[in-house]
Structure 1
Amino acid sequence: MKLSDWKSVTPFMVYCCLVFNVGNVLFGIDVASFGSLQALPSFLRQFGELGANGKYALTTSRKSIMNSVNFTGKLVGCAVFEPLVERLGFKKTILIAAVIQIVAVILEISAHSWIQFSIGRVFAYMAVGIVEPTIPQYQAELAPAPLRGFFAGNVQVLVHLGSIWGSGMSRAYSNETAPKGWMIPVAMQMIPAILLLIGVPFCIESPRWLITHDRKDDAVNVMNRIRPRSHAEDGRTAREVDAFDQAIQESKSLNGGSWGDLFSKTYLNRTIIITFLFFFQQTTGQQFANSYGPSFFASMGLASDRTFTYSILIALAGLCGCIVATLTTDIIGRRTLCYIGAALATMFAALIGSVGSKPGANQNDTDSNVVIASVILLNGVCKLGVASQCWLIGSEIGGTQMRKKLLGWGVVIDVFAAFLVTFFTPYLQAGPQIQLGARVGYVFMGLAAISFFFFIFFTPELRGRSLEEVDELFERKLWPWQFSKAETHGIGARIAAMEGGDNEALRSDPKQVDPEVAHSEYVR
């Protein structure tokens, strides 16, 4: 990423990406608010049970179900995301998700039983299952190749802004025992949905989507709106659309782009990479920190007001990690951030397990502070690495034909892995047969260590490549560390050169690509 790359960005393109990103705020509010809700006295009084100590609490089974059943909704959202986008486009898909979210919030705030509240969360996560893959894919298709990491990779930045919002609302009502103490934080989740309904109609549809639906003239018109006026006047946008069209037609002639192709010889390697990326993004510590951070702090003997303060710090650490990742992914690359984040996650998870399990650790200020800081920083380093990069890589790795399906598959794995963490963590920490307590950190330490080696030996570098260029790279069966310096010569290389401002590529005919001119070295 260079300063000159920003010359091809217009305020309207930034507007479209920001409006769609409001959907990520929606997800962040839900994750953080529910993690904090489980420690609110008003929520526990409404949905918990009175214990022998005279305090209300969620039973282990109820906490496990309420933290995991919502992922069935996310699974449904993942399943319908790709057909919705293919048939209706990105804009209408996001509007549908916003309506679903509004229905979900109404179900939640009108709940008098934990079962109805959980049903509302299922609907909320259906909306999340739609917006999570839709937003990075939309932004990846709008952004020029040198800046795709910045635009498509900022998913988690907005998620964490929502998390801070959600945690802050719970902190404000940490001592409230009346129903409004939990109803107001939950009701805040409706605001992003309303903003989407207002802002999305003014956005443009993806030019690549328009081309695949035989609307090439409309694609040129929207490209003229998201690229500088000079690009439209000298015909650059029209040539870029011609190149998109050629790449799409070539790809269609090679494969049908069906779900079965995910497991074909051409795409199996990419499917495996996506599977492990999204599995590790949930199982290396960030889901634990976000879902169970507040209740974990309470088990360390922290007062309720401090518990909510530290839950806000978890979100802030994640936000810092996401911002650093967004600003550096187009400079140092995706895989580098992944293995740096995994190495640091291994260290902090080990500290949680080793220091937190010491006898009397919750009575020792030093030990408690080390564990608390490790939980907070664990979320930050996970967001620096795979938790932010999986969405970016997922929106790129499918190449011309299979981007939506591969990203949709990744979100299905994400749901499965998140379910495993949220359902089994309470039983591992304080279950009827197993009481690991803080030693649960060792579980995440082991998974983070395994992910470190996966990122080094199996994750390719796609920094600066055009979406259409990825297919050629995988066809050559390169080792992951060879991707960054490999030269390409097809239409994808020409698109990458055009998006990077290569004047020679801009003047050439996309139907007569000279390999010596088209190879894309400009980002290496």
Structure 2
Amino acid sequence: MPSLADWRSVTPMLMFCILTFATADFTFGLDTGTFGNLQAMPAFLNEFGERNAAGKMILNTNRKSVMNSVVYLGRMVGVFIFEPATERFGFKMMFVFLCAVQLIAVVIELTSKEWIQFTVGRVLTYVTIGLIEAVIPSYSAEIAPAPLRGFFAGLFVPLQSSVGMLTSGVAKAFATTQGKVGWIIPITLQGIPSLIGLSLIWFTVESPRWLLSKGREEEALHNLRRLRNQRDVDAGIPEAEIEAIKSAIAYSNSISQGSWMELFTGSYWRRSVYAAIMFMAYEAGGNQFYNAYGPSFLVEAGLGSKTFIYGIIVNLFGAIGSLTTILTTDTIGRRPLCIIGSASLVLWDCLIGAFGGADDITTNTQKQNIMVASFILLIFSTKVAFATHSFIVTTEMGGVRMRKKLMMVGAFHDVLWSFLTAFFTPYIMKSIHAHIGFLFAGIAGIGLLYAIFLLPELSGRSLEEVDELFEKPRFRWGWQYKGVVTTGAGAQIANLERHDAAAHADVETGKDGEVGQHIVEVDDDRKY
């Protein structure tokens, strides 16, 4: 957990910027939570379902598969336009764009008469979501001081989970409603965060790191002064931080321009593989199963309208898990939390597979309770493991030069595994029912092995330190990262961000424009 001294560096302007961008996280949570509930609500089924042989309105397997999976094509579009668009237009304009797209999507959904038009609206919403999951943590990481970077970059996860409680509460209120109002109100709510965000974004500041990359040094310094507290401004900390960031950017650019091909060379290919594994374990380890099919699965298991009450509890535990994670990840570390969370996921997936597939699940209260408890703890464990850390660690691993590109790699795999899980789950469940939990347990097991042996510990490191950690040497076991002492420009930036008054940044540029390495001794035993 960040210390009190760390929190003293937080200013009202910093919090305003973080929270304004975080309004987009509510959009993320509203859509993912709402549609899972709609599939179990009579109002939605009456409008977009079809009558089965027993005379009951349902979404057939094919329609359910398409409506849950095709939306990830939109998410992939959002993922791919993030890096080039943000590089050109900056974070603020990208936020305006994603809010506008979301409002258009809501209008399309609300005016739908057929399930195909409704799905088109959701595809547009997922363009927004693809941008949100990359833009928001990246912006937060760029403006936050190093000791609080993990907290602010991961803040969107508990916010998303908290909104899930709202969606479950709304679903409970309309659980028996037959008319259109039962699905129109939940969809309308999805436009409110975008309206709030659009009204506030003009008062935020652009990322100083992005401004420096565009040569806008005066504006970058002005923004950084607004983000840091008065004590640091008076001490000249923002000026020193700007110089250190400039030097780090110049050094990175002098080596190469950060092309896409670099993701398959040097240490970057390993970072790309790490990001892919984390997002696979996150989405295909059980999380996406509950988001897309959890409510309808519980209804079919005989829980009826109680499903939405349990949904509130599930999202409450998800919010608690993610909030606990971002408050402790910088103290306990990324690795212990991911190991504990992944091991727990394997257990809960197995229990769902064992008890949810019982022949008497619709009448056996004890087995129903075990299954519900397993879903609750599964979402909690997901938040502790990779739901939060996939975004935090991927953002960290990219360093300064490749952060956006590596985040796109992670987001691509997030989309890929979400699509595969959403598309194939209805067909697999049609054959093996709840025993699909054992399949998810196997994938969660892969995540556990990764967390134990490969996951790098980067808590407390500056973005500029990361390249040095991965390059010298090029391979380390996950537990070896923590004790490494860095000596380059990144260490100076981390020192400045930690407000260490005894250390001083001394940035020099060599004849070839490269930043020399400098070591500043602090108390004779601490080196940067």
Q: Same fold (TM over 0.5)?
A: yes
Q: Which residue of 1 aligns with 2:325?
A: 325
**1:410-463, Cα deviation, whole Å (9 max, x unpaired):** 101100000011111111111xxx2x1111111111111121011111110000
Q: CA deviation at 1:54?
A: 2.0
- Aligned-pair identity (%): 41
**1:349-381, Cα deviation, whole Å (9 max, x unpaired):** 111111222331331111110011101211111
Q: Which residue of 2 aligns with 1:494?
A: 492
Query: Secondary structure of the equivalent of 1:385?
Result: helix
Is 1:462 the equivalent of 2:431? no
Contact 1:224/1:232 (CA < 8 Å) preserved in 2?
yes
1:285-304 residue pairs with structure 2 within 5 A? 285-303=286-304
1:15-414 residue pairs with structure 2 within 5 A? 15-303=16-304, 305-414=305-414
Q: Which residue of 2 aligns with 1:415?
A: 415
Contact 1:290/1:379 (CA < 8 Å) preserved in 2?
no
Contact 1:349/1:445 (CA < 8 Å) preserved in 2?
yes
Contact 1:85/1:93 (CA < 8 Å) preserved in 2?
yes
Q: What amino acid is aligned across from residue 414 of structure 1 in structure 2?
A: D
Q: CA deviation at 1:162?
A: 2.1
Superposed CA RMSD in Å reads 1.7
Partner Cα separation in structure 1 for residue 32 and residue 341 of structure 2: 21
Q: Which residue of 2 aligns with 1:515?
A: 519
CA distance 1:518–1:74, change in 2 (3 Å)? farther
Q: CA deviation at 1:256?
A: 1.1
**1:189-244, Cα deviation, whole Å (9 max, x unpaired):** 00011111011111100000000000111111001001011212221110100000
Partner Cα separation in structure 2 for residue 106 and residue 375 of structure 1: 33
Q: CA deviation at 1:519?
A: 12
- Which range is displaced more, 357-366 or 25-34? 357-366
Q: What amino acid is aligned across from residue 4 of structure 1 in structure 2?
A: A
Q: Which residue of 2 aligns with 1:475?
A: 471
**1:464-489, Cα deviation, whole Å (9 max, x unpaired):** 00000000000112322111111000
Partner Cα separation in structure 1 for residue 504 and residue 23 of structure 2: 34
Q: CA deviation at 1:516?
A: 4.4
Partner Cα separation in structure 1 for residue 30 and residue 463 of structure 2: 31
**1:228-285, Cα deviation, whole Å (9 max, x unpaired):** 1121222111010000000000011112111121112231111111111111110111
Contact 1:464/1:523 (CA < 8 Å) preserved in 2?
no
**When the two structures are superposed, what TM-score results if normalisation uses the length of structure 1?**
0.96
**How many aligned positions are there?**
519
Contact 1:136/1:155 (CA < 8 Å) preserved in 2?
yes
Q: CA deviation at 1:168?
A: 1.8
CA distance 1:143–1:521, change in 2 (3 Å)? farther
User: Unaligned regions of 5+ residues in structure 1, if any?
Assistant: none
**1:86-127, Cα deviation, whole Å (9 max, x unpaired):** 001000001100000000000001000000000000000001
Q: Which residue of 1 aligns with 2:483?
A: 485
Query: Secondary structure of the equivalent of 2:502?
Result: helix
Partner Cα separation in structure 1 for residue 348 and residue 22 of structure 2: 30
Partner Cα separation in structure 2 for residue 348 and residue 166 of structure 1: 24
CA distance 1:106–1:240, change in 2 (3 Å)? same
CA distance 1:275–1:507, change in 2 (3 Å)? closer
**When the two structures are superposed, what TM-score results if normalisation uses the length of structure 2?**
0.96
Partner Cα separation in structure 2 for residue 132 and residue 357 of structure 1: 34
